[in-house]
């Protein structure tokens, strides 16, 4: 019985850690492109940063959705 409890607790811990550290996943082709530009921007590619901003700015509703889904990307607004 104790072994089952430890196995269950271990499985839950792995699931939680995996969920916390999983990278952003795209829901569509447009979102995949935006995620790609964001990753390149994070690595220092200035052109990717500009393109990321342009794509986000093209649609205000998408911008609001991204702010909710990826609040850590918009840290300066908190």
Q: Which of 10, 33, 14 is nearest to 22 (CA)?
A: 14
Q: Domain-by-domain residue ranges, the chain?
A: 29-78
The pLDDT value recorded for residue 48 is 95
54 phi, psi to nearest 5 deg: -65, -45
Verdict on whether the full-model pTM lies above 0.85:
no
Which tops the pLDDT comparison, 76 or 35? 35
Residue where the block lists tokens 């999983």:
22
**C-alpha distances out from residue 11 to 18, 20, 24, 49, 78, Å:** 11, 14, 22, 38, 34
The pair of three-digit structure tokens given for residue 30, joined into one six-digit string: 């447009």
Predicted local confidence at residue 71, as pLDDT: 85
Q: Give the tens place of pLDDT for each residue, 16-30.
A: 544 444 555 657 888
What is the average pLDDT value for the chain, to the nearest integer?
74
N-terminal to C-terminal alpha carbon distance within the chain: 47
Q: What is the pLDDT of residues 41-60, one digit of tens each?
A: 999 999 999 999 998 878 77
């Amino acid at each position: 019985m104790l072994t089952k409890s430890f196995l269950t607790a271990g499985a839950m811990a792995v699931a939680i850690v995996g969920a916390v550290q999983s990278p952003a996943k795209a829901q569509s082709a447009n979102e995949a492109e935006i995620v790609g530009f964001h990753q390149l921007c994070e690595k220092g590619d200035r052109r990717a940063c500009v393109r990321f901003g342009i794509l986000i700015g093209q649609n205000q509703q998408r911008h609001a959705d991204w702010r909710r889904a990826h609040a850590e990307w918009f840290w300066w607004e908190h």
